[in-house]
A and B are shown apart, each in its own frame.
Chain A
């Protein structure tokens, strides 16, 4: 043991090191790899790090497989189709062309939803006019879907299957290497230049101290570091901390998406390619989706946004209530859970865009602010950022130019500014601001922004999520007394449970009728649908930076919102974290109600590089 602990940290030189294999990196590596070889297969560019060999491009992915992304995707697929003009959806499992779209407003069939007076009035009107309106099963099907929300001619994808398909093509090309199961811990920054990355230490205890089999994470030095590790990725976030965001930019809007892949009953007649989007229930702030794939499979899920001012953003529980809504349950009843997952969405869009390039590095994908918050589209946009960067990088390689800030600005950032991506993200820029003032105002704001192509918007001032978390006492005022909340809190703490089930049921949410197939306990979903794993020998990646803030925290929303029940009540008020249950959704990172001392844009939770997570390839 002692000799292994004495191991020196090793260094490896490559030409381009990439962090995170998602759609953006898929776009980058696909475009790049095609430009690295001649038609006869001979390499076009010689490696500078390993002279005599072709350009050495290596990509590290945290998850145990390149297929473990979480997202039910409906996309116009313009960027993806530009890369694969002959794309045949039948080549990719679970892919289908969009056949029909519906936008549905869900009424509250149980009476437990928190609706404003205006919304309740609207609900009453809808119910009163239900013979005249297109209503069915406690839902109003909107007769018209605004063009900016439509995905006509687009694709339904399973992100896991899509990245697996892309990854296999890339590996077969032999031009690039992708290594899953290898989290990247930190960027290597020398003065103002990113010179590579450091991989995570292996063989440590949960605090990161060396143990038997310790192997310090290797330093991978590269002329170019491409960062596409998503909205909660540690490298992107550390670069943001180090270099700051451009003046006036911030990342204050987030959401957690929770989804399931479901085997539908044999007799459910839904055409593959059917897209349902819902709003209004289980809480007005929560949006839902159902995408129908071939072979009686559907992807269903909800988004719980950071502007849902509740101390219990319990997405798993809300997803179950959403599924039980009569409009959806008629399809889902008798179905079987195949897989389940959760992920954070960065919803600041253009306003959350970091510095896209600097000396030795470039940012792509969702973490680079590419998500279009008006059209609710992110995968194709992320893909496109990758292809744009690859085109720029190939140009610089041809010119023999180094990857400096100046060159990357010209080759990548300017290219991105001139693309459809930029034009559309400007339209979307302020589209969601109205949600800061309520759901109806938000919906109105989206319509205004969409219909005027971004010229007009309903104003709103996004505040950091931690400023939007009320105490349970304030949230439930008039429904549950302070004394009762205190009693429930004590009871739950003594049993190591989160509060949300008790509080929701006390407010009229019915207990979930578990059926062991689709409606299963949160714990069973982790095993049955998520196959969460955490290989031993790594440090905890969720860290409560200032324990005293947790001890005095009134809400502990991290426990309530945790998608994997990995954060639970712990000793003396400090939440306990169980790495084996974490699905790496990152909801705790932005949901935390405690601002970080000295940095009010961040919270008391740090989400570091970590291994494991979901083991499902079809999310």
Chain B
């Protein structure tokens, strides 16, 4: 019989993020599919009571918590100690956790500590045939594998957007506090804050409805034989502002940034999507002047509706990968789109 642990950390406001609720949904389903395997909840944070209460109706056998000022910051040493203590307290055989940056930093190390194994970039969990199995990515989202493991404990780190968030009754949950005493060596690191670009220069908007993917074509010679990088930059920024879109860049365009070529000044490695970049999730995606094939196009695998603007009708980025391809000059199209968005 498996013993399941749903592992979460609280947000700075003491709540549980949507992503955590997605992992809880998956854990709940797994527990049900394993005909009543006990599900425990483990929460880490400065104060975990509110978060535990918000999922009080999830049917957990126990609510465990590691709390206190030491555990408010996303720091490896303290988070690892807390997660280790929770895994052990729950005697968990299968641990399900959301792939937040905080958990990604620490859970593989926790697996090592508890003598277990870990799977990350998991997109699906099932219990067909009475044993847990996971589907996860390999080769940077280019290959998908379904596997089972003999080793326990097994820590499963679930990618965001892969399941419905758990919805259920809030209430009062009795949290058993698991004591964790940090040694001084665990306090050598202090998280001092978060650095983000100023709001007006923000180009990455994870919650945006639209991802705009700019390709290297923007900085190439245009039909008049000239490069129009400055105009491209203006058009794209104006579009992002008006459409409140998030910006992604193809590898070749992002790489140009480092080469002193005509570039878009606001494009950084953080914008890069694709094989060696991010694979963001947005309901819609519009690519313009992109060229490439599988390794690059993987960047908009998780975009539900996709359209592309490209002068080349046979472009590998668009054909077979987008729902609609507009064979047109992206400069001209974006200029008109911006004007139309301005009227709205």
The complex places the Cα of A205 from the Cα of B260 at a distance, in Å, of: 9
In-complex Cβ contact of A536 among B223, B258, B292, B314 (8 A): B258
The complex places the Cα of A212 from the Cα of B292 at a distance, in Å, of: 29
The complex places the Cα of A524 from the Cα of B252 at a distance, in Å, of: 15
0 or 1 for each of A518-546: is its CB under 8 Å from B? (1 = yes)? 00110110011000000011000000000
Is B74 in the interface zone, CB < 8 Å from A? no
Contact: B223 with A528, CB < 8 Å? Answer: no
Is A111 in the interface zone, CB < 8 Å from B? no
Name the B residues within 8 Å of A212 (CB-CB). Answer: 260
Contact: A523 with B221, CB < 8 Å? Answer: no
Name the A residues within 8 Å of B311 (CB-CB). Answer: 495
Is B197 in the interface zone, CB < 8 Å from A? no
The complex places the Cα of A496 from the Cα of B255 at a distance, in Å, of: 24
Contact: B291 with A527, CB < 8 Å? Answer: yes
Name the B residues within 8 Å of A494 (CB-CB). Answer: 223
Name the A residues within 8 Å of B259 (CB-CB). Answer: 536-537
Known: A494-B223, A571-B225. A524 touches B260 (CB 8 A): no
Contact: B316 with A527, CB < 8 Å? Answer: yes
0 or 1 for each of A567-610: is its CB under 8 Å from B? (1 = yes)? 01111100010101000000000000000000000000000000
Is B198 in the interface zone, CB < 8 Å from A? no
The complex places the Cα of A80 from the Cα of B311 at a distance, in Å, of: 48
Known: A536-B259, A537-B259. A523 touches B291 (CB 8 A): yes
Name the B residues within 8 Å of A496 (CB-CB). Answer: 221, 223
In the complex, what residue of chain B is closest to A572 when comparing beta carbons? Answer: B225
0 or 1 for each of A353-386: is its CB under 8 Å from B? (1 = yes)? 0000000000000000000000000000000000
Interface size class of B (residues with CB under 8 A): 20 to 34
Name the A residues within 8 Å of B221 (CB-CB). Answer: 496, 568, 570, 576
0 or 1 for each of B240-267: is its CB under 8 Å from A? (1 = yes)? 0000000000001001001111000000
The complex places the Cα of A117 from the Cα of B193 at a distance, in Å, of: 82
Kindly provide the distance from the CB of A17 to the nearest chain B CB, expressed in whole angstroms. Answer: 30
- A residues 195-216 touching B (CB-CB < 8 Å): 205, 211-212
Kindly provide the distance from the CB of B151 to the nearest chain A CB, expressed in whole angstroms. Answer: 35
Is A516 in the interface zone, CB < 8 Å from B? yes
Is B226 in the interface zone, CB < 8 Å from A? yes
Known: A520-B314, A523-B314. A528 touches B226 (CB 8 A): no
Name the A residues within 8 Å of B315 (CB-CB). Answer: 521, 523-524
Known: A205-B260, A536-B258. A527 touches B225 (CB 8 A): no
Known: A494-B223, A516-B320, A520-B316. A536 touches B293 (CB 8 A): no
Is B113 in the interface zone, CB < 8 Å from A? no
Name the A residues within 8 Å of B220 (CB-CB). Answer: 578
Contact: A528 with B316, CB < 8 Å? Answer: yes
Name the A residues within 8 Å of B320 (CB-CB). Answer: 516
The complex places the Cα of A281 from the Cα of B63 at a distance, in Å, of: 77
Is B319 in the interface zone, CB < 8 Å from A? yes
The complex places the Cα of A560 from the Cα of B168 at a distance, in Å, of: 66
- B residues 201-254 touching A (CB-CB < 8 Å): 220-221, 223, 225-226, 252
Contact: A576 with B255, CB < 8 Å? Answer: no
The complex places the Cα of A211 from the Cα of B259 at a distance, in Å, of: 10
Known: A537-B259, A576-B225. A527 touches B292 (CB 8 A): yes
Name the A residues within 8 Å of B319 (CB-CB). Answer: 516
Known: A516-B320, A520-B316, A523-B312. A536 touches B225 (CB 8 A): no
Kindly provide the distance from the CB of A520 to the nearest chain B CB, expressed in whole angstroms. Answer: 7
- B residues 258-306 touching A (CB-CB < 8 Å): 258-261, 291-293
Kindly provide the distance from the CB of B79 to the nearest chain A CB, expressed in whole angstroms. Answer: 39
Interface size class of A (residues with CB under 8 A): 20 to 34
Name the A residues within 8 Å of B255 (CB-CB). Answer: 536
Name the B residues within 8 Å of A571 (CB-CB). Answer: 225-226
Name the A residues within 8 Å of B312 (CB-CB). Answer: 521, 523
- A residues 178-222 touching B (CB-CB < 8 Å): 205, 211-212
Contact: A521 with B293, CB < 8 Å? Answer: no
0 or 1 for each of A475-503: is its CB under 8 Å from B? (1 = yes)? 00000000000000000001110000000
Contact: B225 with A521, CB < 8 Å? Answer: no
Name the B residues within 8 Å of A514 (CB-CB). Answer: 314
Contact: B225 with A570, CB < 8 Å? Answer: yes
Contact: A495 with B223, CB < 8 Å? Answer: yes
Kindly provide the distance from the CB of A559 to the nearest chain B CB, expressed in whole angstroms. Answer: 13
In-complex Cβ contact of A524 among B223, B258, B316 (8 A): B316
Name the B residues within 8 Å of A570 (CB-CB). Answer: 221, 225
- B residues 308-323 touching A (CB-CB < 8 Å): 311-312, 314-316, 319-320
0 or 1 for each of B1-36: is its CB under 8 Å from A? (1 = yes)? 000000000000000000000000000000000000
The complex places the Cα of A569 from the Cα of B316 at a distance, in Å, of: 23
Kindly provide the distance from the CB of B228 to the nearest chain A CB, expressed in whole angstroms. Answer: 13
Contact: B260 with A527, CB < 8 Å? Answer: no
In the complex, what residue of chain B is closest to A519 when comparing beta carbons? Answer: B314
0 or 1 for each of A500-520: is its CB under 8 Å from B? (1 = yes)? 000000000000001010001
Name the B residues within 8 Å of A580 (CB-CB). Answer: 252
- A residues 545-577 touching B (CB-CB < 8 Å): 568-572, 576
Name the B residues within 8 Å of A536 (CB-CB). Answer: 255, 258-261
The complex places the Cα of A516 from the Cα of B226 at a distance, in Å, of: 31
The complex places the Cα of A572 from the Cα of B221 at a distance, in Å, of: 13
In the complex, what residue of chain B is closest to A528 when comparing beta carbons? Answer: B293
Kindly provide the distance from the CB of B92 to the nearest chain A CB, expressed in whole angstroms. Answer: 45
The complex places the Cα of A569 from the Cα of B252 at a distance, in Å, of: 22
The complex places the Cα of A569 from the Cα of B223 at a distance, in Å, of: 9
The complex places the Cα of A372 from the Cα of B260 at a distance, in Å, of: 46
Name the B residues within 8 Å of A516 (CB-CB). Answer: 316, 319-320
- A residues 246-281 touching B (CB-CB < 8 Å): none
Name the A residues within 8 Å of B260 (CB-CB). Answer: 205, 211-212, 536
The complex places the Cα of A607 from the Cα of B143 at a distance, in Å, of: 41
The complex places the Cα of A496 from the Cα of B312 at a distance, in Å, of: 12
Contact: B225 with A524, CB < 8 Å? Answer: no
The complex places the Cα of A528 from the Cα of B294 at a distance, in Å, of: 8
0 or 1 for each of A236-253: is its CB under 8 Å from B? (1 = yes)? 000000000000000000
In the complex, what residue of chain B is closest to A495 when comparing beta carbons? Answer: B223
The complex places the Cα of A604 from the Cα of B221 at a distance, in Å, of: 23
The 4 A-B residue pairs with the shortest CB-CB distance, nearest first, are A571-B225, A536-B259, A521-B314, A524-B316
Between A and B, 17 residue pairs with Cβ closer than 8 Å are A211-B260, A496-B221, A516-B316, A516-B320, A520-B314, A521-B312, A521-B314, A521-B315, A523-B315, A523-B316, A527-B293, A528-B293, A536-B260, A536-B261, A568-B221, A570-B221, A571-B226
- Residues of chain A at the chain B interface (Cβ within 8 Å): 205, 211-212, 494-496, 514, 516, 520-521, 523-524, 527-528, 536-537, 568-572, 576, 578, 580
- Beyond A495-B311, A527-B293, 17 extra complex contacts between A and B, CB < 8 Å: A496-B223, A516-B319, A520-B316, A521-B312, A521-B314, A523-B316, A524-B293, A527-B316, A528-B293, A528-B316, A536-B259, A536-B261, A568-B221, A569-B225, A571-B226, A576-B221, A576-B225
